[in-house]
Structure 1
């Protein structure tokens, strides 16, 4: 199986999530925050990796990848915040730490990919599980944080 298209999709999804987060620092978040959760639908092309019969991973490897993803979500959760500005709309708090962390996280995952000695099907599956492990908790906590700011002090 040729993974160049899948790698391109992974890079594209990461770039879109990063872009949306940066834009939200300068433009207000529209609606009631459902778009924060909706970005998780960008992960749907990767779910085909889970069904790949050529990926030979153990439940322990999947669990470790998922737990690693959850641990990696913690810095993202702490550096993502929301604020209501003078115009009464909700924005993502400007955070250089978040920008640096997101780029470092992606670069770290990309670098580690070369060190893992297993077939590419299994490696892609584990890295997708890791990505889900940090994106899903981060986006859910971001939605909860947004809703707290959105509901409190509404103008």
Structure 2
């Protein structure tokens, strides 16, 4: 097992707990979507910056030469990202209320979808443990970025359609 693997599990658990805590606060006190929905793009931009920084550090890791994975591995990571993003997008909805503002519709399945994403990620880590650490990190980041882009851009489109009604 890689030395950084236990830390990645602790990090994932912390993120899961943070998401559940934030969602419980938000569902107790619903707030309308603000800034015409453009705030939905913040995770896309932040992930791009974080991933670029991570890739820069990976390319300078001693003893771990950086090279791009095979094209079929990149395509598979993108396809998995599209599937996961599409599932999250399907479970994301918005509603226009009497006050004329748009609110995100609570989704009882969100926690199950999030847990499924994490289980799939852990399962893939076990399945691809023979891959180089740098290569696996790149593929995981690519999958996550595609997933978040599909989900957030699609959510923005759904929000704008609801706003136009």
Q: What band does the TM-score fall into relative to the shorter chain? A: 0.7 to 0.9
Instruction: Report the alpha carbon displacement of residue 145 of structure 1 after superposing the two structures with TM.
Output: 0.5
Q: In 1, Cα distance between the equivalents of 2:40 and 2:24?
A: 13
Secondary structure class of the residue paired with 2:109: helix
2:98 pairs with 1:80: no
1:135 Cα deviation (Å)?
A: 0.9
Quote the RMSD (CA, aligned, Å): 2.9
Aligned residues, how many? 150
For the residue of structure 2 that corresponds to 1:69, the secondary structure is: helix
**Structure 2, unpaired ranges of 5+:** 60-64
In 2 relative to 1, CA 77–22 (structure 1 residues): closer, same or farther, beyond 3 Å? farther
- 2:125 counterpart of 1:125: no
Structure number with larger C-alpha Rg = 2
Question: Any runs of at least 4 consecutive aligned residues in structure 1 with deviations exceeding 6 A, and if so which?
Answer: 12-22
- Aligned partners of 2:72 and 2:115: how far apart in 1? 28
| Cα separation, 1, equivalents of 2:74 and 2:21 | 29
Residues 19 and 90 of structure 1, relative CA distance in 2, 3 Å threshold = farther
Which of 41, 46, 52 does residue 42 from structure 1 map onto?
A: 46
Please list the CA deviations of residues 61-82 of structure 1 after superposition, one character each: whole Å capped at 9, or x if unmatched. Answer: 1121111111221211111011
Matches within 5 A, 1:6-155: 7=8, 11=12, 25=27, 26-43=30-47, 44-51=49-56, 52-53=58-59, 54-56=65-67, 57-116=69-128, 117-152=130-165
Shift of 1:83: 0.5
